[in-house]
Chain A
Amino acid sequence: MVEPKNFNSPEKISALFAEIETHRGYLIRFAIAKLRDAVQAEEVVQEALLAALDGAGGFSGQSSLRTWLTSILKFKIIDFQRRVIVERAHFSSAPDEDESSDPEWMDRLFDDSGHWGTRLAEWANPDEALAQKQFFAVFEQCMDKLPRTTSRVFFKREVMGVDTDEICKEEDISASNCWVMLHRARLALRECLDRNWFQGAKR
């Protein structure tokens, strides 16, 4: 019999179980970026987590747990897409913001001459923020506030590291449309982090 390298005792399995749960939020966002549907994303993440627990012995501890879970999730997503390939054509979501004109919130960031409405403040100790769980929770909340398509495009580009060309193809949008969305996402996220973390912390 082959002994799994790690997590081979009940205590270790239950510790892994608890730790796996902390990655659920990330995995769901990953799945939403791929599947465009929150309910289906929940389903497929559930399947992936069950598979992960089933195969916990296969986790060697050499990659991060998140990386390992993500690789399981990728397989589950492909499976899922195969199963629903026919239905899939029906749920392409409509663009949620008009790209031809700037949304109102963006006009508020800049004055009529195109200068920043308020001067940007420096972010103190950004490296410290990266070491805090709570900061990542704020980041997740900020991403969730973006329009759905914008959020998905940002996630693919910056979190998953996909090229814009490929994103354009997957989303069936033009390159300039893609840049517009990414730019809006970055502006909005910057505002959100500024307000909810960096400036908030000073108060």
Chain B
Amino acid sequence: MSDATELSCKEAARLMSKRQDAALTEDEQENLKNHLYDCLSCRRFEQQLGFLRQLAERYRGEAT
């Protein structure tokens, strides 16, 4: 049973970050999905978080 709540960007950002380290609950996933659908800035944040992870991985192995 999902209890839809409108997330603020601040909360959405926190969930996106948490998702990189742990599984979200179904409600959290649902609320986040709804928020991302409407919010361009948060979609960009999502991409940039992914990039940050890629960057850190590259930094570990890279002969820079």
Contact = CB atoms under 8 A, between A and B. Distances in A.
Which secondary structure dominates chain A's binding surface? helix
B48 interface: yes
Which secondary structure dominates chain B's binding surface? helix
A182 B62 contact: no
Interface string A106-120: 000110011110011
A72 to B, nearest CB: 15
A110 B18 contact: no
Interface string B1-14: 00000001111011
* Centre residue among B13, B14, B18, B57 by max chain A CB count within 10 A: B13
A68 B29 CA distance: 40
A66 B61 contact: yes
Contacts of B54: 130
Interface string A93-137: 000000000000000011001111001111100100010010010
Contacts, number: 97
A26 B52 CA distance: 17
A176 B48 CA distance: 22
Contact of B58 (A19, A113, A130): A130
Interface of B: 8-11, 13-14, 17-18, 20-22, 40-42, 44-45, 47-49, 51-64
25 contacts: A19-B63, A26-B59, A64-B63, A66-B60, A66-B62, A110-B8, A114-B9, A115-B8, A115-B10, A116-B41, A119-B40, A120-B40, A120-B42, A121-B44, A130-B55, A133-B64, A136-B59, A139-B59, A159-B56, A164-B21, A175-B22, A183-B18, A186-B17, A186-B20, A186-B49
